Amino acid sequence: MITIGAKLKALRESQKLSLRDLADKTGLSASFLSQLELGQVSPSIASLENIANVLNVYITHFFDNHKEKDSIVIRKGERRRIYSKDSKAIIQPLAHEISKKKIEPFMLILEVGGEAGEHPYSSRHGEEFGIVIQGKTKFILEQNEYILEEGDSVYFNSTKPHNWENIGRKFAKIILVIPAP
């Protein structure tokens, strides 16, 4: 099985970037990126999205088995997942990396106390949609905080610093949809 780290290294090298180059572009340390490539650390959701943006790939690139690339169905039990121990979060793609797709849907599952990133992060997408399908979350957009519960949704400019935190007593599940790169 190919790991996130192996996919990251292959993609970085195919774009002729050194670890230092990628570190400079992402704002992450070269040491962290090296450990990620070696499978010694797990990225936060924010870090993984940042890396995908810089490398101009879908975040699902790190999950997909390219043999299934053109499938239109992902069964619940077959979804790939990335667990971030530090964020207490799981991210699951809800669509395969299909060429020319316009959106990228995924599910963010936050454990109690979990968050998408250590602090608010931004992306180059420009817009993002999210709907809480389970639990109670705090959504932070710049200096504003919003308490969102099951069924509540947000549509926002994702170039502004934002974050998701689970403030409930059970797992929080959020469906997020972002434009494809």
Q: How confident is the model at residue 1 (pLDDT cuts 50, 70, 90)?
A: very low
Q: How many Å apart are CA 155 and CA 127, to the nearest integer?
A: 7
Write the DSSP string, 36-63: HHTTSS---HHHHHHHHHHTT--GGGGT
C-alpha to C-alpha distance for 133 and 104, rounded to whole angstroms: 18
Domains in the chain, CATH or no CATH each: 74-179 (2.60.120.10)
The set of residues, in sequence order, having a beta carbon less than 8 Å from that of 59 and lying 6+ positions away, is: 48, 49, 52, 91, 93, 104, 106, 178
What are the CA-CA distances from residue 46 to residues 27, 82, 87 (Å)? Answer: 12, 12, 9
pLDDT digits (tens, 9 = 90+) for 93-109: 888 766 667 888 989 99
* C-beta of residue 158 within 8 angstroms of C-beta of residue 175: no
Residues 14-33, mean pLDDT to the nearest whole number:
94
pLDDT, averaged across the chain: 86
Please give the biggest Cα pair distance in the chain: 45
Average pLDDT for 103-125: 84
Quick one: how many helices (H) and strands (E) in the chain?
Answer: 4, 9
Flag whether pLDDT at 175 surpasses 70.
yes
First to last CA, the chain: 25
Q: Give pLDDT, residue 2.
A: 53
Over residues 138-171, the pLDDT tens digits come to 999 999 999 999 999 999 998 899 999 999 999 9
- pLDDT for 19 beyond 70: yes
69-95 average pLDDT score:
81
In the sheet with 144-149, reading across from the earlier edge strand, the strands are 144-149, 136-141, 162-166
- Has residue 70 got a pLDDT over 70? no
At 66 the pLDDT is: 52
Stated pTM of the model: 0.78
Residue 124's CB is within 10 A of a number of other CB atoms, namely 13
Integer Cα distance of 180 and 162 in angstroms:
19
